[in-house]
Structures are given as C-alpha cells and as structure tokens.
A and B are shown apart, each in its own frame.
Chain A
C-alpha cells in the first residue's frame, strides 16, 4: 500500500473517533450515516479538494455540499482536522449558543458551504454552484454527498436532470450507498435500485466504487475530472456505522448517540486514545 493511502486511512480513523466523541458529548445526533462517509470526506478534504482553511472564503476554492445534512458530525470532524476551527469546538455540537448546529449552517461555521438538513435541497444547491462556476468561467469544482434514502426525494431527480442538461462536468456527486434509512432497509421502505442506471438514464457518467476503499475513491475522483460534457456520480458502496462493529448495518444507530459504555467500546475498536 502506498504512503498516501495509509495517511488518508489514518485521517478517516481520526475523523471516526471525533464523531464518536462528539456525539457522546452532545447525547444527540446521527452516528450511522456519519461513520459511513468518513473515508469519502477524508479523501475529499485531504487529497482531492482545493480549499484553504486560513482563507475559508477564498473565491476559487472547491465547494463541498453535505446534502445528507444529518451527517454533520463527519463534516465538522473533517473541517476541524483540516484546521477550519479548533477541535475543542467539536465538543459543543448541538449545544445552545454553539457554532456547530445539529445540521450544517453556512452562516455560522467556517468551511460549511451550504445550509442543509432538509433532504434533497443540498443537491439542488450544488447544481447552482456548479452553474455559477460555468457562468464565470471559474476553475473550481463542486462536490456533493447524498444519502441513498435521500434519493427518494423528487427534488433530487429534478436536480439530476438539470445537471446533465447544463453539462455540469465540474460537478461530482457521491451517493453514500449504505442501503439503510431510518425505518429500515431502502429496499423495504422505498426501493431506489438500480441507482447507477437511474443516474445513467438522467445523463450522468456513473462510477461504482467501494466507499471504504481509499484507492477506489482516489481513482474515481481522478477519472471524474477527465469526463467532459456531463456530471459524474460515484455510487459508493458503504456500510452504515462503518468502523464500530455494533453500529455496522444496525438501523437503530441512525440517530442514537453513544452512551459512555458505547463510546469506550467504539474508541477501543477504532484504535483507542
């Protein structure tokens, strides 16, 4: 394994530990869908995206929109690791007067590009950002992360249609395909498969990846940049709760915070502290 992969894996692991700690501290929030996206955010922020934590409003920065806004902890942990704000802030998640709202708030948190939390809306906004880059002939790229349950929202397909129509090859969407939502497995609540074929039919370039494989993610993101004239979506196969055995694939860990006992167990599995 090359060195870069090891470094990114370590970053993802640190992000996971932050997620567990902050959710325990707030006694509220969404662990499952945050843990499933840790590798994706590690690769985006520590390899792929051009951002500057000393200048969060730098005009030419790449944009990331967390359309599945309930996974805010993974974004906050990543932004703190990247230096957008102090790591101590993470312990104020969801508390009154805190900078770290339960769902991302672009007005209050450095590095957060779009206020999200109502599913489907972030994806649509990311199309607007990519359109604006095209209008202004800017080089920046736009990245957005969606949940597979989120794909059930109609606005997602309105946005998908528009992205292809406007040939937004500066946009890369990633679907966190963990196959779980709140009430159960997607296939039992409202089937979304075949996800790749649906995007293909809407005019997108589709790449299927293992969302926990750093190599896969690195390669796919590189490939996406080479595809011209259409947007690319990575359908990233993931495991909800990834990294903490008792949270993996467990529907109950969608929106339940870890107790002290859970936290201790989880941190040991993630390599302790």
Chain B
C-alpha cells in the first residue's frame, strides 16, 4: 500500500485550487514548510500571507478576508490553530458564519517527539462545540484532496484536521466519492461495526481482516465528517450489528466516540466501546511507540471488538 501524509495531499490540493479559484487565499503562521502551504506560497505569492507566530491574528485576518469575499485557508499546527485561537474562531468565524477554512496539520499523538505541548487531542471536541462549524478528519491522501476541493465549494466555516506522518492510501482515487457529511462504508459485516476516523481508519481495516480470519463478521465505517455527522449510517449500524467500536486519535471525551454515543443513545441504544486517548496528555516519543503506549493500534481494536462480542452474547 502506498503512503502519503494528509498534509502533503493538502499542499497539493491548495496548488490546484489556486489555479481553479482566484478567490482562494492562503495564510500561515511561520510553519509553511511543515503545513505544506509553502507550495502555494511559491506559486501564488500575492495570495499568500505569512502572519508570523500569531495564531489569533491568523484567524482574525482570515475572518476579515472572508467578510470581503475571499476564501481563506488558514493553516498552522492543530494545537495552536484551535487552542490559541479558540475564541477568535468562535466569535469571528463561527458566530458570523464566515467562509474560513481552518486546515490544521500535526494533529494528534503522531506529531510525536515534540511531545504533549504539540499534541492536539482535544481539537475535534472544541471545534465540534462551535455552532456552524463543519469538522472534517480525512483518513488518507485521496480523501484529503477531495475534501479540500469540496470545502472550497462549500460556503461556511470548516475545520479540517490533518496529520504529520505518512499514512496508507485506502481510498481509490478513480472510484471514491467524497461528500461532506456522509460516512463511507468500507466493509460490510453483521456482528460488530468499527467506526473510525483519520489515521485510525486504516488500523480499523487491518483489525477487521484479522477478525474475519477468526470468523467474526465486522462492518467498517469511515466517518470523515465528524460534524454534521452521518446519523443514518450510524443508526443503521446500531440496528443491524448491535455493537459499535469507535477509534480515533483524540481524547475519547468529546470526539468521534462521543459524537457516535450521542447519535445511538438518542436513536437506537447499542453497545459501544470507544478507543482513543484516555483523558490523558501524551508525551515525547516516536509516533509508533506512542500509538502503542496509548492504545491506538490494530491490536487494541481487535481486543475491543472481542470484548464487545462477549458482552453482546451475555446481553
């Protein structure tokens, strides 16, 4: 399987957009080489603004640009994009429903060695809580590119969560259709559903293979849009499989797992097990060491599915 970081796909998509849409402007806060906005900056110099190390201003300026008709893509690390600038996003972007695209890279544990101060494990929760905000977490490079084009055509605030490390390409460029707000069924199954987002989608697929070989029928769903979430696909999974395991590279509080819990508890209560970081800060280490230490691997998903099946039998 080929691998590409979602931030690289983002950089490529921006260059394509620059050509396609004259209104697109890109902003960064001294991290253009890491966020991959540097490609756009080189090609469309006059439509790129590096605001320096000033994330609140990054969002504030973007709001102003959007208010006068531009389509700003504001980029920095997820930690600083959503953390430092939270209230600016809420009051200057969410509240007036401005057309700002906040595309944040280096989200989650896999930013790795920089450690806890740079590992954003609460951004989905924060962004999800802001009215009018759409929240997208692409699973691979193909999905990222399609998502970036889709949000450029959509009018309204969007948060896109991207990663630092290369991840396996799981979607087929020629057949995959990305639609904001629609979950993507990756594999049919009848006993349990794994609902994953971001880098955990490929782990979920790997886990399902192992489980199938053990005779467990597993459905796998990729929820790339955390908000608005695809209620139908989740309710159907609850009805048809009766048990759901969620997996995300984020605190289990407030992210995908919480969003799925909200949907099923109000519509069709089913067994649920959430995989994510367990209300803890991360630490420095290689991405793989961290995923292992904090329980975000294929093996953790397999174990969770096996546990939930036992519960289901008892129930």
Q: Which residues of B contact A117 (CB under 8 A)?
A: 114-115, 117-118
Task: Decide if B115 touches A101 in the complex (CB within 8 Å).
Answer: yes
Closest residue to A251 on the B side, CB-wise?
A: B33
Q: Is the interface of B mostly helix, strand, loop or mixed?
A: helix
Task: Decide if B53 touches A96 in the complex (CB within 8 Å).
Answer: no
Q: Which residues of B contact A54 (CB under 8 A)?
A: none
* Residue in B38, B52, B80, B285 whose beta carbon sits within 8 Å of that of A149 in the complex: B52
Q: Which residues of B contact A115 (CB under 8 A)?
A: 117
B252 CB → nearest A CB, Å: 21
| Residues 67-100 (chain A) with a chain B CB within 8 angstroms | 69, 93-98, 100
* Residue in B32, B34, B38, B113 whose beta carbon sits within 8 Å of that of A94 in the complex: B113
| Residues 25-60 (chain B) with a chain A CB within 8 angstroms | 28, 30-34, 38, 50-54, 56-57
* Residue in B33, B112, B116 whose beta carbon sits within 8 Å of that of A105 in the complex: B116
Q: Which residues of B contact A97 (CB under 8 A)?
A: 283, 285
Task: Decide if A101 touches B116 in the complex (CB within 8 Å).
Answer: yes
How far apart sit A136 and B28, CA to CA, in the bound complex (Å)?
43
We find that the number of chain B residues with CB closer than 8 angstroms to chain A is: 32
A109 CB → nearest B CB, Å: 12
How far apart sit A180 and B76, CA to CA, in the bound complex (Å)?
18
Q: A94-B113, A189-B52 are contacts. A182–B84 as well, Cβ < 8 Å? A: no
Q: A96-B286, A96-B293, A183-B31 are contacts. A190–B51 as well, Cβ < 8 Å? A: yes
Q: Which residues of A contact B283 (CB under 8 A)?
A: 96-98, 101
**A116 contacts the other chain (Cβ, under 8 Å)?**
yes
How far apart sit A102 and B287, CA to CA, in the bound complex (Å)?
13
**B289 contacts the other chain (Cβ, under 8 Å)?**
yes
Which of A69, A96, A100, A182 is packed against the most chain B CB atoms within 10 Å? A96
Closest residue to A119 on the B side, CB-wise?
A: B53
**A139 contacts the other chain (Cβ, under 8 Å)?**
no
Q: Which residues of A contact B114 (CB under 8 A)?
A: 102-103, 117
Closest residue to B38 on the A side, CB-wise?
A: A183
A88 CB → nearest B CB, Å: 17
Report which B residues bind A (CB closer than 8 A). 28, 30-34, 38, 50-54, 56-57, 79-80, 83-84, 112-118, 283-286, 289-290, 293
Given contacts A97-B285, A181-B52, 17 further A-B contacts (CB under 8 A): A28-B112, A69-B117, A94-B113, A94-B115, A97-B283, A102-B113, A102-B284, A103-B118, A117-B114, A117-B117, A118-B84, A149-B52, A152-B52, A154-B54, A182-B30, A182-B33, A190-B54
Pull 7 A–B residue pairs with CB atoms less than 8 Å apart, ordered by A.
A96-B286, A98-B284, A105-B115, A117-B118, A154-B56, A181-B53, A189-B52
Report which A residues bind B (CB closer than 8 A). 26, 28-29, 69, 93-98, 100-103, 105, 115-120, 149-150, 152-154, 181-183, 186, 189-190
